Amino acid sequence: MPAVSVEALLESGAHFGHLTRRWNPKMRNFIFMERNGIHIIDLRKTQLLLDIARDAALDVASQGRGVLFIGTKNQAKGTMETEAKRSHSNYVCERWLGGMLTNFSTIRKSIKRLNTIDKMEIDGTFEKMTKKERLMLGRERDRLRKVFGGIEDMTRLPGMLFVVDIKKEHLAIKEAKILGIPVIGIVDTNSDPQEVDFPIPANDDSIRTIEIITKVIADAAIEGREVSKAKTAEMAAAGEQVAKEAESGDASQVRRQLRGRKTGGRDNN
């Protein structure tokens, strides 16, 4: 069953593309028609490709890998943060800092600095500082949290990116390509769908459209994480069973050896 109906996509305005003069010819196969100088997106293909992207996100999450949500344009910020948090995923919704993926070790140092400042406030170190020092550290913490707050607990590279507006987030997509990280992207009629692995043709300026599509990807991340947890629990249970069987086998072997020694001792007598 499709994740979203064509009717729901239509009501959200997902079919409205950009002015025809701003189109990218590579979007030709996803355009239904032209109306009043605007390209109209074929929502049947949007529905199909959204399902494909959903399955890809579920597969990545089921392997224990994270989906990084990226949307820094005003229409996307709130939704990306809300859905990422709901699905316990990492996100970037303020600005993409160059090297967030390709220079991740350095980025982690900035995150550690943020964690250190938080710890200083909790353990009472702040109280021993002057007002000016506290003010400076507070500003540094706010600046770091604004940029890195959504990836504060990201300890390794994500398994996939989900991006709203692939033209605006081209730097993130470029880094993902370098590292071989697959990308899901909402692709409007002015974009190149070949820039991402899983394009979803839709209006990337409509808040409602962004909400609908992002929710589908977040739901997939949640479902995939549950699958991953079940696999982990199953493997742990299997490991315990193997250990018990091995322990039982070792005990039986010891008992046989002891019986053999006793029998041998009687024969000698």
Residue 71 lies in a domain: yes
* 253: in domain: no
Helix (H) or strand (E) holding 68: strand 67-70
Please write the tens of the pLDDT for every residue from 124-161.
888 888 889 989 999 999 999 999 999 999 999 999 99
Q: Tell me whether residue 132 is in a domain.
A: yes
With respect to residue 145, please indicate whether it lies within any of the assigned structural domains: yes
The full DSSP string for 81-107 is: HHHHHHTT--EE-S-PPTTTTTTHHHH
Question: Using CA atoms, how far apart are residues 19 and 190, in angstroms rounded to an integer?
Answer: 9
* Range in 3-12, 90-99, 128-137 the model is least confident about: 128-137
Domain of 62, CATH number, reads 3.40.50.10490
* Within a domain: 236: no
In a domain, 243, yes or no: no
244, part of any domain? no
Number of domains in the chain: 1
Burial of 148 (0-12, 13-18, 19+ CB in 10 A): buried
Q: Containing domain of residue 157, as a range?
A: 6-229
Segment 64-89, tens digit of pLDDT? 999 999 999 999 999 999 999 999 99
